[in-house]
Structure 1
Amino acid sequence: MSVTAGVSDTIIAIRDKLRGKIGQTKVKRYWPGRAPEWADDAHEDGDIQLDRLAALEQAFPRQDNSHIVKKDDARLRRLAESKIDNREEVRADHRRIRQAEIVSTIEEEARRQERFMQKYYHKGAFFQADADDHAATAGTDGIFTRDFSAPTGEDKMDKTILPKVMQVKHFGRSGRTKWTHLVNEDTTDWNNPWTYNDPLRAKYNAKMAGMNADISKPKGSKKLKDWESR
């Protein structure tokens, strides 16, 4: 037996084997959404397509005992495929919503009482208490856990024991103001045109609605009166 004859026999055997698989694929019919019997080997290899078909089979089970042939609804199948594809996203959204509900039920800490004439520092629009990446792998810094409303510098001193003249901001400086705080002072500018009630302003106010007469029920039109009298 020559080498050429051996190669030819091998090629013929492979061809017959392939033809047998192709013929088996054409002859055997399988239910849509269910893997064929000859695809068990591919399923063992972890075929993603077959996993999706198995999930669809669970969503739409085949009724073997039914004598009525039912057509597969493409819309429902697409909906099931989208649900299977987005299953992990839905679970992640559910976890986020659940976590938000748990956090909302936790009692918030009482705001710290600030001292007299203490400076207020806003934490900023870009304040971060958590990690700055989506995967939360970078972690957070210990500085974010500090109390940003705590007094610092001159604010640690009790200014209530100071004389009245010293209870101002920037005492002894050229840029100091004569005002202490809004609770103690009335900073309304009565010379402002919007607050000064001169004759021109009084005439303008008199033309406003509800200034001359009491607010009463509208009289209505003639058609409405005729309709009510019927």
Structure 2
Amino acid sequence: MAARGGVNAKGENAPQPVKVQRYWPGKAPKGVTDYSSSEEEEEEQFERQKETDLITSVQKVEITEQEAASDRRLRRLKEAKEDSTQVIDRRRRHLEDVEKEDIQKDQLHVIEALQEVELDDAAEIRRRQLKRDRALEIRRQEEEGLKALEEEERTQTAQVEEEEEESDSEETSEYETDSEEEEQISRKLLKPVFIPKAHRETVLERERMKELEEETERKRLRELEERKKESHAMVEEHVQKSLQKEVSEDTGLQEIDDTDGLDEQAEYEEWKLRELRRVKRDKEERLAREKERDEIERRRNMSEEQRTKEDMERIKKQREEKPKGQYKFLQKYYHKGSFYMEDDNQILKRDYTVPTPDEVGHKEILPKVMQVKNFGRAGQTKWTHLTDQDTSTKDAPWNAKTEINKRTISKLGGFHGGFDKPTAKKRKS
């Protein structure tokens, strides 16, 4: 509740309670009548016009012509109004003239452009016609030149044949004269004639070579395709044979043996030999199983230390029985490898001590100076081997016989003349 000023019943000023009206969105307040939008707009326009009239209204006063003529301000306003009217008219006329000139210029540009396009088209047509006429003239001249050349060659050939026939019946001097004339004719230079590209031998030869290369490539591709087909056929045949073999093994079908009864005595001997071998093989397998069983039983009755000792002895015996290779004099050493040596691969069981083909057979017969490794190379060694060489050096500072070294050595243990027991030393002291 709000309050406003007022007078109470006693005539004193006192605030009076006023009920505040609450407004809701989308709902018109109480006491407000609905008006159309057009009526509201008319009322607003009327109010604005009224305010404008109040602000801009000027009191109109009647002025006579004599007063207007005598009033300098009115006269000045009138002259300014006339001047502004003249300036506006002059500017408007100037703009109209400029627009007319621009329109005329645009029209002239369009006409000139059309004329230039027409002239360019006509010139292009005339230029093409001249090129076509020139090409036809050149072709006609070439054809005439070819015809003239062929005619000249035929004439020369006929003359040469006639001269050869005449030379047979004439004397030797006349023959020499005719031969000189023939040489002059043969030395006659021919006029160069243009040959079209389609008729040139180089172009034709190039095309033939290109066709030959393409044919060779096609042939190679055909052969490759045929080899692929043959490989596929071989693989398919192999797979079919494998499948047939598996099927025959699964079914247990065997080929019929039709050789029985041909030689009964030989067949009996073969059967007897097979039976003896089978009996011997069975006996050996039985003895091996019994021996293995006895060995297992024996090792089970042994202690862990005894089994370990027996294993080590067996390994030592195997190593001793294994033949060891012997290196030759100054033979190059190659590392034997450390990994995968326990595999049963046959290549790992070869002898690594065998010399390579680059090794010299007997280096002990070489001169003493050549009995070094990599003789004559950048990595040549200085000594044959170090077993008979003293490679120790005495140039170190601690090996020099100086007073400092003597005092240092005298303080080191193990460098004195004798050794006394500590107990004896204490007793002496």
Fold match by TM threshold 0.5: no
Which one has the bigger helix percentage? 2
Length-normalised TM-score, structure 1: 0.43
Length-normalised TM-score, structure 2: 0.25
Bigger RCO of structures 1 and 2 (CA < 8 A, at least 6 apart): 1
